[in-house]
Amino acid sequence: MVCEQHGEALKLFCETDQVLMCLICRESRGHRAHPAAPILALLRSLLQQIQTQLQLLRGERKRLETLRGSESQKHQEYQQKAAAERQKIVAVFERLRRFLEEQERFVLAEVERGIEKRHEEHAEQKKFQETLLCDLEKGKGGPQGSYTRAMATESSVQSLQDEVTCSVCLEFFRDPVMIMGCGHNFCQACIAQCWEGAETDVTCPQCRQTFAQRLLGPNRQLANVVELVKGLSMRGAGGKTVCEQHREALNLFCETDQVLMCVICWESRAHQAHPAAPIQEAAQQCKEQIQTQLQLLRREREGLEALRGSESQKHQEYQDYVTRKQ
């Protein structure tokens, strides 16, 4: 290669202008003050720089490959951990699903047992009240009225006495109260004594069913029947109901104290200010109350049957949903 201007070989390299030049160009004004180097020395320097850069690039590539391998291993380990955690979560949810299904079956079984128990209790009360109502309807007419004649036989009186007897003290109910959970009745003092010291997890003395809370309610209808049965139990000569204190016929019913009384009792201080009704009218009123109670029991039974049908339908729908998910 020769200089186009001077025709001399290009042996030098101007480091300032970055061009090739000859010896004459080196001495000219344009390049005299510029550092210059022989082309061969410059080529060797550039070659060394290229080799150094290549070594740096090889080292960087090796580092990147090592880093990529490490990251790939970390990614694989992360995927394995994520898969393991996913399996744990699936197992936990599966256990939770089985637990919820078992709880649902248990709750439905408890509801079924509660409904059946209420049905049995209502059937017993209905049978007793229908028997009493039937006896009242058969005993119409006569001086003692429908209620007195309905209890004319000793077996009927004994049957009624059994129905109004507390299973704890084996006496007639005194201030009867009903356990709301199972429907059994007891004297207020008797159930208080049985549950003394217990605020939760109380047990019915009759059916032994356990309840979380003490839920009691007064049974005034049963208290009225108890008083009427007590009157039937006090029969004197000739089958008439007589007052134990005055030995007079119990022809009146005290609406305040809910007891049978004679004319002398009515004039006494204990009952003088109390409203009273003839025993015939009291028996008719009791009959109407029993009929009303029977209607309430029928409606409650229909409601329980509807509830059981609804719960059975929900349970079937949930089973179908679980089957589809599986």
Q: Using CA atoms, how far apart are residues 20 and 41, in angstroms rounded to an integer? A: 13
Q: In the CATH scheme, what is the homologous superfamily, with its name and number, of domain 139-232?
A: Zinc/RING finger domain, C3HC4 (zinc finger) (3.30.40.10)
64: phi > 0 → left, psi -120 to 50 → alpha, else beta; which?
Answer: alpha
* Residues present in the chain in total: 326
Task: List pLDDT tens digits, range 74-111.
Answer: 888 888 988 888 888 888 888 888 888 888 788 777 77
- Domain boundaries along the sequence of the chain: 139-232
Please say if the pLDDT value at position 6 is more than 90: no
Please say if the pLDDT value at position 57 is more than 90: yes
Helices (H) and strands (E) in the chain, counts: 8, 11
Tell me what pLDDT residue 128 has. 67
CB 271 within 8 A of CB 264: no
Poorest-pLDDT segment among 139-153, 207-221, 257-271, 312-326: 139-153
Query: What SS3 class is residue 174?
Result: coil
Copy the structure tokens of residue 287.
């009959």
Tell me what pLDDT residue 187 has. 94
Tell me what pLDDT residue 52 has. 92
Confidence of residue 294 (pLDDT cuts 50, 70, 90): confident
Give the predicted TM-score (pTM) of the model: 0.31
Highest mean pLDDT among 115-119, 186-190, 196-200: 186-190
Task: List pLDDT tens digits, range 121-162.
Answer: 767 766 766 666 665 555 443 333 433 443 444 556 667 778
What are the φ and ψ backbone dihedral angles of 260, each rounded to 5 degrees?
Answer: -80, 145
Structure letter (DSSP) for residue 199 = S
The sign of the torsion formed by the CA atoms of 292, 296, 299, 305 equals negative
Tell me what pLDDT residue 186 has. 93
Tell me what pLDDT residue 149 has. 44
Q: Which residues pair with 218 in a beta bridge?
A: 177
Tell me what pLDDT residue 51 has. 92
Poorest-pLDDT segment among 67-71, 136-140, 165-169, 274-278: 136-140
Tell me what pLDDT residue 125 has. 67
